[in-house]
């Protein structure tokens, strides 16, 4: 999640939680991200708060101390993975090719963020899982209600969605019920993918 203010992000997090999404990642590109992570983790104790766009071990440690329960990166930095493991936090580094994905897994990733998934599609997930079934994969970037079930059926263990949940226009006019509806629809799509998979 990214928002222009901590208040908007907290409102968005509440709306998404109401729609059934209980893991919320706060991107480090969000203004005052550490404050947001701290506030959201205190305010919504039934929600698992993580930090995204974590690029180095120093940032990983800082977000963990602020309350992040998991670390997500767009790329693989082995020292960041090691820091997350040291603090017993789930870590999901990003990778694009099968070689990068395996390297991230071997470095200690709990799940590998396949990014950007919009460039690869669901078939890529099943193609990678065929020879490497032990990997836990999370497609990110371009995952939405229309393709979430297909990613799950292809072998994704979970998905990460941003713009599919956050409607900037609705947030701008203060209509957070749209976010709740988006979250419900996405949760339904994931459940459908698991039932059919």
Tell me the catalytic residues.
Answer: 25, 113
Name the residue among 142, 153, 151 with its Cα closest to residue 117. 142
State the angle between helix axes of 57-66 and 33-43 in degrees (0 to 180), rounded to the nearest 10: 30
Give rounded-to-5 percent helix, strand, coil for the chain. Answer: 50, 15, 40
State the residue for tokens 């993975």: 81
Cα separations in angstroms, 74 against 14, 15, 145, 161: 25, 25, 22, 14
5 Ramachandran zone, left/alpha/beta (phi>0; psi -120 to 50):
beta
Pair of tokens at residue 18: 């109401």
């Amino acid at each position: 999640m990214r928002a222009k203010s901590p208040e908007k992000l907290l409102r968005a997090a509440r709306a998404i939680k109401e729609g059934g999404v209980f893991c919320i990642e706060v991107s480090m590109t969000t203004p005052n991200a550490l404050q947001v992570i701290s506030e959201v983790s205190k305010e919504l104790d039934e929600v698992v708060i993580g930090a995204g766009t974590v690029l180095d071990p120093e940032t990983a440690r800082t977000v963990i101390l602020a309350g992040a329960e998991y670390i997500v990166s767009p790329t693989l930095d082995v020292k960041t993975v090691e820091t997350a493991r040291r603090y017993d936090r789930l870590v999901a580094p990003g990778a694009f090719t099968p070689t990068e994905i395996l390297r991230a897994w071997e470095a200690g990733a709990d799940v590998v963020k396949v990014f950007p998934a919009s460039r690869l599609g669901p078939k890529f997930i099943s193609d990678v899982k065929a020879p490497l079934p032990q990997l836990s994969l999370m497609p990110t970037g371009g995952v939405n209600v229309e393709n979430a079930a297909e990613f799950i059926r292809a072998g994704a263990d979970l998905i990460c969605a941003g713009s599919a949940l956050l409607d900037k226009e609705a947030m701008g006019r203060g209509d957070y019920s749209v976010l709740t509806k988006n979250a419900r629809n996405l949760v339904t799509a994931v459940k459908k993918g698991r039932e059919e998979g």
